[in-house]
Amino acid sequence: EAGVVQSPRYKIIEKKQPVAFWCNPISGHNTLYWYLQNLGQGPELLIRYENEEAVDDSQLPKDRFSAERLKGVDSTLKIQPAELGDSAVYLCASSEQGDTQYFGPGTRLTVL
């Protein structure tokens, strides 16, 4: 069974540029999470989807971040415009009914 797939693995952009990350969860997992992880820290939730509905996005900086999961399967997280402080690893995870979470490899974003 394929795990959680994320792309790209690495992204380097200039500040003020837009960037998008893609995640394909494990088949059949209705819950999808986007996390941000800074160096030496644990992941922090940005947004959680139950199927196609965003049910917890209180930590998402909505002035520059947006996310979608249109058909309740794969998801895209976008930042526009990116700032220096957005440099981090963006992790996607999925689960069935909020139990064991399975994580993708993450996208390491560097903003110059």
Category of 86 on φ-ψ map: left (φ > 0), alpha (ψ -120 to 50) or beta: alpha
Counting Cα atoms < 13 Å in the Cβ hemisphere of 2 gives 9
In angstroms, give the least distance from the CB of 81 to another protein.
26
Q: Which amino acid would we find at residue 98? A: G
Residues in the interface with another protein (CB under 8 A) total: 28
Are 82 and 18 within 8 A, CB to CB? Answer: yes
- Output the smallest distance, CB 16 to another protein, in A: 27
Both tokens of 79, joined, read 């930042």
CB of 1 to another protein, least distance (A): 14
**By C-beta, is 61 or 98 nearer to another protein?**
98
Q: Taking the complex as a whole, how short is the minimal distance between the CB of residue 95 and another protein, in angstroms? A: 8
User: Can you tell me which of 23, 94, 104, 111 binds another protein, judged by CB under 8 A?
Assistant: 104
* 103 counts as binding another protein under rule CB under 8 A: yes
Task: By CB under 8 A, tell whether 56 contacts another protein.
Answer: yes
Nearest to another protein of 23, 82 (CB atom): 23
The DSSP-derived string for 34-55 is EEEE-TTS--EEEEEEETTEEE
